[in-house]
Structure 1
């Protein structure tokens, strides 16, 4: 074969296969594709595109399946990777020969095919260099005795055996002369939940060389992403990688090898050992996860094969599925406010008298708060309306907050909810985990108001509200109401220092 003097990588088209359906990875693939599953807190396909960009590939065609729109939204036009991407729809796990027949013909170019749903060391440079010394029309990259998910078809070559996902899974035989053995590379097929779990731990621990793992080293063995709250006491031996926008309670323990993806909350006393936690999951108080994968409310044990759906949101919860809950809502909530107003009438006289004696010129204080009623802003978007909250100017918490019952009766507040905040505090919440707290309605009482002292750090109060949002439900609301009634007779309700 006569070769051009031009480097081969500049004369080829690139196809990235991201249409794998991934039935073997269910339930992880019931609402996304394999290429978007996180490995070491980063979508799998990102590693492939970073490898292509590092090897000098400027353009690529993405073959995408049923979750193609998710991939388009994540990748855009590819400029964030230094690439120019276009997308080709596939029914999923399409035959490579059929895919090539549907794409525009390029008889003068070689075709590089890369699986975007496998994890590998960045081996493309070595593969292309080795290909330059081979005359074979079709070349297969192999690492550790298995396909590396990288193939090169020169010019009009059309032998696509061994390139489809089913071929990779079944071990379809390919000519030995066509194999390029890449001795220093590592390839992970991710053909089961166990291998997905292992790939996460291996990537985070640095056992797959050359991967660009997100985050910075917080301490030896602990890598942490941006805007995550972690304590040095969390790591109880081994290694851990924590993604961005996570909140790990200082009393939680990370043992063995642990990988936590973006937007995860791990509550107090939880223990994770050889665990992989997928994005936007909540791990509850005192929960132990060993040798497993957590995806929202799903617990997948890779040692026993057990797959459990946890229905108790106090244990595991999917933060992405949480919405603002109004279990004690509407007219019933406002009726409760009116009843409490009537029942508290004698206390109003005492509160007013104490406030006039303490601050005769200004017995009432007013401040703007963000409530629950929805209005449209200038762009037509529904946002929470502000309201004016009044408080008696006295130091007795129970009496000072009596005017807030008016706001409950008007529908600005719920009886039970997250702690009400000011518009300025709301505007400062930009991280995803912070916005989780906004999915619970603002309330007069709630776990944060009942459990934490006024002097508690703002971040601790915010985390408490985010956990409440994940656990909200009729049972939780009823229990909070009972606790609120008991709190009326506690010293803390009457003495601000308690």
Structure 2
């Protein structure tokens, strides 16, 4: 038996926290949510895993690797964000008559997969629906569950008590992580050791409360914990000044810095977060520069690093940036191409004039216009550069797209955009930007303006996951072929109109 784990949620319910963590990577007890699912998979005896990922796909793959840590072999599969389960299974080309475990890896639940599998074996021909804490537990077994796989789509639906199915009630905790309050409650419940099957793995130290303990990670520095009236989890490499006061339940992530005189009361501090001197916070989630009040669901972005902020040293990744030599070559290319600009402008004018003519003919014909056509000679676009600044750029209304984007090479030369990268258009951005922004990329070269956002996201993810050394040359060649195929139907359509004029 193999398992298909769905970890392709966007996490819009937790905006703007999902800009830092997709649901599968959200820390719970200083461990990513997906880690708990993989531990449960390993306990069930399954070793072959297909991981369906979408947002922050690169980060998930870097975090999990090959799966060796859990004794499983992980094969990654890119999907559209929150894509229907049936569509994903169809593209996976699996034999749905084989025994397959389907489960969500972006919700938090107590270990239960082994119990579910053993129970389901007693009803091989019946759909067994799993419930935990009166919720859809997000797991099912094929082939019996094939007519019900829509129940695994996000958001998970509340399963009914259908007499035609077998219901298994599992004991434990199940959290959808679909609000700030439920996310914080899950973390603090784990920190208070309320889940017997999920005891924190850190070292235990007595607190000032005789009924609760602190669980302290390796190399953490603290004051006298037995004098604190709080309790909870203190992550690895956390530095907590001895003068800090902790009240009620606290969960502090790995590599956090809590400065002197601060007061934390019923708080969740996520990894790599700095809490400033003398700051008092209560009932809050702190994530780098985000201060989230779980009672009001209010979010404040703090610009003052002396209050809260990131204490993570960003890695200097120069590999994706366009080098100075390349920028000089592009400057030369731009200068050499200037004599061709009048010709390109003329072709662009002809294309825009043809689009206007076709638009007028539509009033006398039942034919539909082609997608992506425009009557503008120069197409203006609102863009963002790699520093987050918005600006207006333009391209010609011509094919191939490589020629149309020549004017935007100016922004590569000035360092605002890279030569290759994600689309800088603000109209197609969604959530966290995958990597650096560039003039040329799969979305810019292979898709027109009418392409849906899901298709753009999936194409960008697939290109980012391609580690082949010639992927940029392949992209340029593919863009030329796409333009050639696009021209052929146009020519055929023009010939038919010449032979069969509209009466």
TM over 0.5: yes
Aligned-residue offset at 1:255: 1.1
1:134 to 117, 123, 129: 123
Which residue of 1 is the match for residue 187 of structure 2?
200
Counterpart-to-counterpart distance in 1, 2:227 and 2:3: 42
Aligned-residue offset at 1:55: 1.2
1:262 is the counterpart of 2:251: no
1:184 to 166, 171, 195: 171
Asked whether the 8 Å contact 1:234–1:252 carries over to 2, the reply is: no
Counterpart-to-counterpart distance in 2, 1:282 and 1:55: 39
Which residue of 1 is the match for residue 241 of structure 2?
249
1:122 is the counterpart of 2:111: yes
Which residue of 2 is the match for residue 36 of structure 1?
25
Aligned-residue offset at 1:278: 0.6
Structure 1 SS opposite 2:196: coil
Aligned-residue offset at 1:120: 0.7
Structure 1 SS opposite 2:37: helix
Unmatched runs of 5 consecutive residues or more in structure 1 = 1-11, 325-498
Counterpart-to-counterpart distance in 1, 2:28 and 2:17: 12
Structure 1 SS opposite 2:101: strand
Asked whether the 8 Å contact 1:96–1:163 carries over to 2, the reply is: yes
Counterpart-to-counterpart distance in 2, 1:177 and 1:151: 15
Structure 1 SS opposite 2:261: coil
Aligned-residue offset at 1:155: 6.2
Computed over aligned residues only, the root mean square deviation of the Cα atoms, in angstroms, reads 2.0
Counterpart-to-counterpart distance in 2, 1:89 and 1:159: 23
Could you list the structure 1 runs, at least 4 aligned residues long, displaced by more than 6 angstroms after superposition: 321-324
Aligned-residue offset at 1:79: 0.2
Aligned-residue offset at 1:183: 4.2
Superposition TM-score, scaled by structure 2 size: 0.59
Aligned-residue offset at 1:50: 0.5
Which residue of 1 is the match for residue 13 of structure 2?
24
Which residue of 1 is the match for residue 83 of structure 2?
94
Asked whether the 8 Å contact 1:35–1:44 carries over to 2, the reply is: yes
Counterpart-to-counterpart distance in 1, 2:226 and 2:22: 32
Superposition TM-score, scaled by structure 1 size: 0.59
1:54 is the counterpart of 2:54: no
Larger Cα Rg: Structure 1 or Structure 2? Answer: 1
2:300 to 284, 297, 308: 308
Counterpart-to-counterpart distance in 2, 1:285 and 1:323: 26
- CA 1:31/1:182 → structure 2, altered by over 3 Å: closer, same or farther? same
Aligned residues between the structures: 311
1:291 is the counterpart of 2:278: no
2:221 to 208, 211, 229: 229
- CA 1:176/1:21 → structure 2, altered by over 3 Å: closer, same or farther? farther
Which residue of 1 is the match for residue 231 of structure 2?
239
Structure 1 SS opposite 2:148: coil
Counterpart-to-counterpart distance in 2, 1:100 and 1:92: 14
Aligned-residue offset at 1:209: 2.9
Counterpart-to-counterpart distance in 2, 1:135 and 1:260: 45
Unmatched runs of 5 consecutive residues or more in structure 2 = 208-212, 317-503
Which residue of 2 is the match for residue 145 of structure 1?
134
